[in-house]
Structure 1
Amino acid sequence: MLFVKKKIQYTASLLVSCCLGFYGPLVSSASDKEPDSLVSYYDLVHPIISRSGMVVSQNDIASEVGAQILREGGNAIDAAVATAFALAVTLPRAGNLGGGGMMMIHLAQENKNIALNYRELAPEAAYETMFLDKQGEPISEKSLHTLAAAGVPGTVAGMHHALTKYGTMTWSQVIAPAEKLAREGIVINDDIVRNINVSPALKDDAESCRVYFKKDCVTYKPGERLKQTDLANSLSALRKGGAEVFYHGEIAEKIVKAMKKGGGLITAEDLANYHVEELTPIYGQFRDYQIVTMPPPSSGGIHLVQMFNMLDALPLKTIEVGSALLLHYQIEIFKRAYADRSKYLGDTDFVHVPVKGLTDPAYAKQLVKNIKADVVTPSSAIKAGKVPSYESPDTTHISVMDKQGNVVSNTYTLNHSFGSGITIPGTGILMNNTMDDFSIKPGSPNSYGLIGGEANAIHAGKHPLSSMTPTIVLKQGKPFLATGTPGGSKIISSVFQQLTYILAYDVNLAEATIRPRVHHQWMPDVVYVEKSLNPDTRDKLLSMGYKVEQSKSLGSLQSVMYQEDVFFGYADPRRPHAKAVAAD
């Protein structure tokens, strides 16, 4: 009886940890043998089920907006765009109009996959050494909290392109819910208060103070209502005038005016010349699954496929799910992929990226030759591989599937939480600080600790490298899974670990999402682990020779799976208020 009582108490504590995931641990991971109580906990975790479609995002209100669009007859693209605009109101630290992102689309009727790049662009006045001091050293504050840190925003153009080309509803219909939310106000919750309080850049900007605080820059309290009238007016202008308003009209004029006054580089010509790119997705194969993911200027897709190629070359059948050995192999895979990222990845309009070589299974086999079950490879011993030659880089994520079989996996960002912290006067629009995603000084780490090379150096009109990894998985040519996450440099490793559990071990979507994650990015030579990682597993990694450091929660996966005519949605509990909403 005592054992049963302790078992119930342990399982209950895990559930509490899950609910408070954004402040601390989620669940204890498995070492080579999982405790019975952990197995019981996984038995209690289930995805949301629907037979009409699903929307999953980092905010419950925004997910409901998207689901309502599906109920009204809209398709997955309509719902994703409506959700993205709603997130600009309800999740201002990441949802945005002043940032950019990447979207994967699967069109059922045409059986076609599309990659949309609406990433921010370096302004024409940008140059390679713009964030270096006289001694040639990076000025981090300048690349993070000034208007010079802003790339030309792509979100509005990206949403407009996706909707008008692949949606079924009008631009006005999908923007209207967000406009209403901004004008009527949202109830401030603890999560918003917490993130505002840890973002001092907001208080440093007079306009941000006016928009996101009460009089005299006093923070709102949970339960109070935040009305974003300027943002509502901007959304109204967009609803009536289309994307042209942002890039050629009244919003563009306000952005340019602020740039001139505040030392930013974006001009009217930069905004007018912005365009969305339709790209060929990156494809990979793992067992019966086809991975369809984002090409450069994202590094995510290439390295996700590269990681699965390496995983496929290892003796996976002998490794138990959740074991320290599996984590060891994944860490060694991370090191090799991130080393290649530092050398080869950049905007393909400016540099040659050996996509076929990096995603070649034969190359992966070469990379894993020196991965041993009981040996830790120091990062100093790992260099970017010799890629075979061929002819011929706070973010948030949305996943949507509709009953017609259309799929959207969309990741977009302001870069850091609340971007630069600077709001364009009279618009309610926060500006991104995405210029920090360039290699400000090749060989020096950016704010995420990622080391980049000349391939990602600053250049006018160039997209900074991204880690965004919006991904669609097909099974026998049909949609199986849509997933993605925020997390900066940790995006790729988070998506890879979730997909490993699902594709290699047939773990259900909820369990694959909540299992504790680890991260290694080659440099620094450190394994970052969530506090919830089983102590026995952590000790095993330490005994092998890894340097292990505790990290805040890694990623926030928002995912939809489709099997046997049923949609399964699950929102990562690592972020509060994330929610999967069924269209039934």
Structure 2
Amino acid sequence: MSRKSLAVLFACLLFVAPLSARESAKPSAQPPGAAIASAHALATDAGFETLRAGGNAFDAAVAVSAVLSVVEPISSGLGGGGFFLLHDAKTGKDVFVDAREMAPAAATQERYLTADGGFDRDRAVNGPWAAGIPGLPAAFVHVAETYGKLPLRTSLAPAIRIARDGFPVYARFARGYQQRREVMERYPGTRAVYLASGAAPKEGEVFRQPDLARTLELLAGHGFDGFYRGEVAAKLVAGVNAEGGQWTGEELAAYTVKEREPVRFRYRDWDIVTAPPPSSGGIALAQMLQILSGWDLQELDEPLRVHLVAESMRRAFRDRTFYLGDPDFVKVPQRLLTSPDYAAGLRATINPSRATPSDLLSGEQTPLEDEETTHFSIIDAEGNRAAVTQTVNLLFGSGLVPPGTGVLLNNEMDDFALKPGTPNAFGVMGYDANAPAPGKRMLSSMTPTFMQSPGKVVVLGTPGGSRIITMVLLGILGFDAGLDAQAVSALPRYHQQWMPDVIEAESGAFTPQVAQSLRALGHSLKLPGDEAAGGRGSSHVWGNLQTVEWDLADNALHGGSDPRNPVGKAAVEAIGATAR
């Protein structure tokens, strides 16, 4: 780090005062029902089924999460982890439930080196060494027992039924399997699930997972012990170790979810409640939005607005690299990084008429998480809220299903800095704050978020790797500009993550005139179609934003499901509205 960067950082320390936990204004009425938005219609329907059975938003969150674990193995599952941001309307309490995966004790950095000292990419992303100890099943138990109204068996019933009876394979599922089939078909337990019909899953055919249904039944009947001890745990350990990994039953039994205090800050008229470490998202959001609070973005022309937003992204991602990791293992300077004074110092380094080259902000590149993640948002008739983002990391995770479990394991170990200074699967690097250690949780970009103003309550989030953070940022700016939930979910997206020093954008995010203006300001752009000119280009569409909003002025609920995802569903029902 340069002497100049250190001077800016420590000068800001002199002006930082403790952030007070601002109390959000209490809504004047209760919602007229419930709203749920998720990445699959079956999951949204399961949430409403659970509410009709007398559950609250937290029971519905377990139901939606579990069904997504069944129908979206490309994105999440019992073999992965997630973050549950919850708001209890009765007490006004917000809590962040950290169910991130943990590193097995044997998974040291040395395990990911080849004989000549190089980085073993295959081991980091495929098979037994790629997987961290799963956290999502423990979250189901914790959320149901601590915050729900219903027994776990009721909330898990839709997922058990769908795993047993099956669901139609959709296009993204079938395409994803073809992309990962070489890895998936290495392992007998995976072949038994995905080749059960004798061929790879095809769009439209019914996909059944009886072993996963059995695992969910044991979890429903025995709680934590149904997954982390006993029959399922023994099969998980045996399956991992048979493929050359080193898990122990003691490690599984020792897994715990962590309740953490959310990140809170103010942006214009909004109180924002969002994800703390080991998510990097909340701190980055606080930095970016507080930097941007120095301008009235709606009064600016589009090129200048995008320029300032991209410059805020650049600075937040630079700090993400050096300071963020599992707070149980590293000291995260959260109070400083989320301070308005620190944001003001960063704002002062932005030149409104010229892009700041990233190499002038001294440092290296940053770790990130893959796009194959999922998110859902819920508000119930009592005003309870749930924003949940969950993942197995890469497409179909590690590809490994321990025989007899139906549980597809994550490959979150690649989210650690397994070899400092060496790019991970996505060409980016990490450092000591995010190095693996026994029981440590890898850094994440997942950013489930609440927003509340005097007139509106919003729940939002998305998958998308490191782009999660910037997509949530653009969603917040969209709501602040007065857009409704569906319009926000459809917003075009762009992203700057400090290193590499480039703005990426979706198709249609910038007009040719805006792109030309940004280049004139000194920005490098990577746009869809750039491949034709010899570049790598950018993905045509990103993410899968799911959001619900409660308009307090007319006491109405609305949902927005990302139009990029044809199987998602946002819905509103009057469940519970007349039962008070």
Inter-partner Cα distance in structure 1 for 2:158 and 2:190? 23
Matched, 1:206 2:188: yes
Aligned counterpart for 2:489 among listed residues 510, 513, 527: 513
Q: Deviations over 1:273-314 (max 9, x none)?
A: 001101111101011211111111111111111111111123
Matched, 1:570 2:560: yes
The change in CA–CA distance for 1:353 and 1:370 in structure 2 (over 3 A counts) is: same
Aligned counterpart for 1:363 among listed residues 342, 354, 357: 342
Inter-partner Cα distance in structure 2 for 1:70 and 1:296? 31
Inter-partner Cα distance in structure 2 for 1:153 and 1:255? 10
Aligned counterpart for 1:235 among listed residues 210, 216, 229: 216
Inter-partner Cα distance in structure 2 for 1:104 and 1:160? 15
Q: Deviations over 1:53-78 (max 9, x none)?
A: 01111101111111221233211001
Give 1:248's aligned residue: 229
Q: Deviations over 1:138-197 (max 9, x none)?
A: 211111002111111000001110111000011010111111111111112222212211
The change in CA–CA distance for 1:580 and 1:317 in structure 2 (over 3 A counts) is: closer
What displacement does 1:328 show? 1.2
Matched, 1:559 2:547: yes
Matched, 1:125 2:106: yes
Aligned counterpart for 1:417 among listed residues 389, 395, 416: 395
Q: Deviations over 1:12-47 (max 9, x none)?
A: xxxxxxxxxxxxxxxxxxxxxxxxxxxxxxxxxxxx
Contact 2:177 2:201 (C-alpha < 8 Å) held by counterparts: no
Contact 1:448 1:489 (C-alpha < 8 Å) held by counterparts: no
Q: Secondary structure at the match of 1:113?
A: strand
What displacement does 1:227 show? 1.3
Inter-partner Cα distance in structure 1 for 2:573 and 2:185? 39
Q: Secondary structure at the match of 2:307?
A: helix
Contact 2:350 2:356 (C-alpha < 8 Å) held by counterparts: yes
Contact 1:405 1:479 (C-alpha < 8 Å) held by counterparts: no
What are the within-5 Å matches in structure 2 for residues 262-273 of structure 1?
262-273=243-254
Give 2:531's aligned residue: none
Q: Secondary structure at the match of 1:460?
A: coil
Q: Secondary structure at the match of 2:46?
A: helix
Inter-partner Cα distance in structure 2 for 1:168 and 1:399? 19
Give 1:302's aligned residue: 283
Give 2:306's aligned residue: 327
Give 1:17's aligned residue: none
Inter-partner Cα distance in structure 1 for 2:43 and 2:298? 41
Inter-partner Cα distance in structure 2 for 1:462 and 1:53? 37
What displacement does 1:450 show? 3.6
Matched, 1:188 2:176: no
What displacement does 1:319 show? 1.4
What displacement does 1:236 show? 1.6
Contact 1:340 1:384 (C-alpha < 8 Å) held by counterparts: no
The change in CA–CA distance for 1:327 and 1:449 in structure 2 (over 3 A counts) is: farther
The change in CA–CA distance for 1:150 and 1:220 in structure 2 (over 3 A counts) is: closer
Q: Secondary structure at the match of 2:264?
A: strand
Inter-partner Cα distance in structure 1 for 2:350 and 2:459? 30
Q: Secondary structure at the match of 1:142?
A: helix
What displacement does 1:427 show? 1.1
Q: Pick which of 513-522 and 402-411 moved more.
A: 513-522
Inter-partner Cα distance in structure 2 for 1:395 and 1:317? 31
What displacement does 1:214 show? 4.7
Q: Secondary structure at the match of 1:198?
A: helix
Inter-partner Cα distance in structure 2 for 1:215 and 1:400? 36
Inter-partner Cα distance in structure 2 for 1:197 and 1:244? 35
Q: Secondary structure at the match of 2:110?
A: coil
Give 1:293's aligned residue: 274
Q: TM-score, normalised by structure 2?
A: 0.87
Q: Which amino acid aligns with 2:102?
A: L
Matched, 1:59 2:40: yes
Q: Secondary structure at the match of 1:106?
A: strand
Contact 2:487 2:560 (C-alpha < 8 Å) held by counterparts: no
Give 1:474's aligned residue: 452
Contact 1:313 1:364 (C-alpha < 8 Å) held by counterparts: no
Task: Give identity over the alignment, percent.
Answer: 38
Q: Which amino acid aligns with 1:577?
A: V
What displacement does 1:235 show? 1.3
Contact 1:306 1:337 (C-alpha < 8 Å) held by counterparts: yes
What are the within-5 Å matches in structure 2 for residues 88-103 of structure 1?
88-103=69-84
Contact 1:331 1:527 (C-alpha < 8 Å) held by counterparts: yes
Contact 2:281 2:447 (C-alpha < 8 Å) held by counterparts: yes
Give 1:344's aligned residue: 323
RMSD: 1.7
Inter-partner Cα distance in structure 2 for 1:132 and 1:343? 23
Q: Which amino acid aligns with 2:560?
A: Y
Matched, 1:526 2:516: no
Q: Pick which of 421-430 and 435-444 moved more.
A: 435-444
Contact 1:346 1:455 (C-alpha < 8 Å) held by counterparts: yes
The change in CA–CA distance for 1:250 and 1:406 in structure 2 (over 3 A counts) is: same
Contact 1:347 1:465 (C-alpha < 8 Å) held by counterparts: yes
What displacement does 1:135 show? 4.1
- Provide structure 2 residue ranges, at least 5 long, that are not aligned to the other structure: 1-30, 528-537, 575-580
Contact 2:37 2:378 (C-alpha < 8 Å) held by counterparts: yes
What displacement does 1:317 show? 5.1
Inter-partner Cα distance in structure 1 for 2:227 and 2:305? 48
Aligned counterpart for 2:127 among listed residues 113, 136, 146: 146
What displacement does 1:448 show? 3.4
The change in CA–CA distance for 1:548 and 1:247 in structure 2 (over 3 A counts) is: same
Give 1:16's aligned residue: none
Inter-partner Cα distance in structure 1 for 2:236 and 2:208? 22
Q: Secondary structure at the match of 2:112?
A: coil
Q: Which amino acid aligns with 1:514?
A: A
Inter-partner Cα distance in structure 2 for 1:265 and 1:214? 28
Matched, 1:405 2:386: no
Inter-partner Cα distance in structure 2 for 1:567 and 1:497? 21
Inter-partner Cα distance in structure 2 for 1:253 and 1:468? 30
Give the number of equivalent residue pairs: 523
Q: Which amino acid aligns with 2:184?
A: L
Q: TM-score, normalised by structure 1?
A: 0.87
Q: Pick which of 441-450 and 221-230 moved more.
A: 441-450
Contact 2:488 2:560 (C-alpha < 8 Å) held by counterparts: no
